[in-house]
Amino acid sequence: MKRHKLLIATSNAGKLREIRHVFTDLAVELVTLAQFGELPPVVEDGRTFEDNAAKKALHYAELTGVWTLADDSGLEVDALNRGPGVHSARFAGPAQDAVANNAKLIACLRDVPRERRSARFRCAIAMADGRRVLATASGTIEGLIIDKPRGRNGFGYDPHFLLPELGRTTAELDPEHKNRISHRGQALRNVRPQLESILSE
């Protein structure tokens, strides 16, 4: 089978590790944004994760001429009207500072009791060829927000995202376990059969 290139449209090292893990034996050469030098960024102004994932995939596929897979993901907290949602990465400002984002999250929930701190991580994935979106998928994982961070294996909001049935945060899971149950792991596994079908054509 011919080995195609697939651009992973993220500069987030944590996301790259998760994607490489799920696609480890896929018949495709994974390339990153760093291999294309300075590219103009996409304006992520979509109203949903699906909007932003498609917009990113189309943007970078058109710029590079390489099939592109992009994700948009974030945290929805029910007590915050499902915020920060699509604004998760920039919740505390444009710097995309995870420490500041987490500090703001906990401050916003200061007076919210544990039983009302239900939340979910949501991920949407799109793959495009520069003209159209070829594949999409999504995934979610439910949990609770806790005040004190726990764990060192995750990134972003992971240290504050507790999985009650496991008694651990997503930052306390080993990478293989996290990839098996996470929102991004689900979305990647859901999109993989579509990629395999496209690659075989």
- How far apart CA 173 and CA 149 sit, in angstroms, is 13
Distance CA 83, CA 81 (A): 5
List 25, 45, 71, 72, catalytic entry:
72
Secondary structure class of 157 (helix, strand, coil): coil
Measure the CA dihedral 73/27/201/134, to 10°. 10
Q: Which residue has the tokens 């764990």?
A: 151
Would you call 12 exposed, middle or buried from its count of C-beta atoms within 10 A (0-12, 13-18, 19+)? middle
Tell me if residue 72 is catalytic: yes
Active-site positions read 72
